[in-house]
A and B are shown apart, each in its own frame.
Chain A
Amino acid sequence: EDQVTQSPEALRLQEGESSSLNCSYTVSGLRGLFWYRQDPGKGPEFLFTLYSAGEEKEKERLKATLTKKESFLHITAPKPEDSATYLCAVRASGSARQLTFGSGTQLTVLP
């Protein structure tokens, strides 16, 4: 069974204090790892897709990296508007190619 574990559950940072969120996964044949941002009362917003170990993607203050067992979302010099829940999801091989989510990391950036 595919499993996705995110840590920490919650993270509070001061504005400008860089940190990383972790996503550990167990999946039979990874066909993509996805990062989403979710604001309260809204649906998840797509951020990145990573397909193979060693791959990196960047967008503004966010950088996602992938190894064979985990992914990191690095946040550099965060701002209060980066406060949100960050969700990680994996897609496995197989006919259905389900998208399985972790429980998320709730990030709060204080001014």
Chain B
Amino acid sequence: EAGVAQSPRYKIIEKRQSVAFWCNPISGHATLYWYQQILGQGPKLLIQFQNNGVVDDSQLPKDRFSAERLKGVDSTLKIQPAKLEDSAVYLCASSPGGIAEAFFGQGTRLTVV
């Protein structure tokens, strides 16, 4: 079974530039998560989708971050404009739904200079 796919693996941008990350979840998984993980910390939830609807985006900085899930499958997370403090690993995870465990992709390491 294929896992969660993310791209790119690494991205370096200057502050005030924009960037987008892509995620393809495990086939059939209804729930998709985007997490931000700063070095030395645990993952922090940014947004959670159930199929193609948002169920929680309370910790998403909506003035600069946006996310969408197309047709309940792939998802993109965008940052515009980026700040230095956005430097982190962005993790995508998917779950069949309900109370099942989530499975993570390899993440995208973003460096803002």
Contacts and interface: CB of A to CB of B under 8 A. Distances in A.
Interface of A: 4, 6, 31-32, 34, 36, 41-46, 49, 51, 87, 89, 91, 95-104
Interface of B: 4, 33, 35, 40-45, 48, 55-56, 91, 93, 98-107, 109
B33 A91 contact: no
B99 A51 contact: yes
Contact of A98 (B41, B56, B100, B104): B56
A32 B106 contact: no
A95 to B, nearest CB: 7
Nearest to B105: A43
Contact of A43 (B40, B98, B104): B104
Contact of B45 (A32, A42, A51, A100): A100
A59 to B, nearest CB: 13
A46 B101 CA distance: 8
A96 B56 contact: yes
14 contacts: A6-B42, A43-B91, A43-B104, A43-B106, A43-B107, A46-B102, A49-B100, A49-B101, A89-B42, A99-B93, A100-B45, A101-B35, A102-B42, A104-B41
Contacts of A4: 42
Nearest to A47: B101
Contacts of A46: 101-104
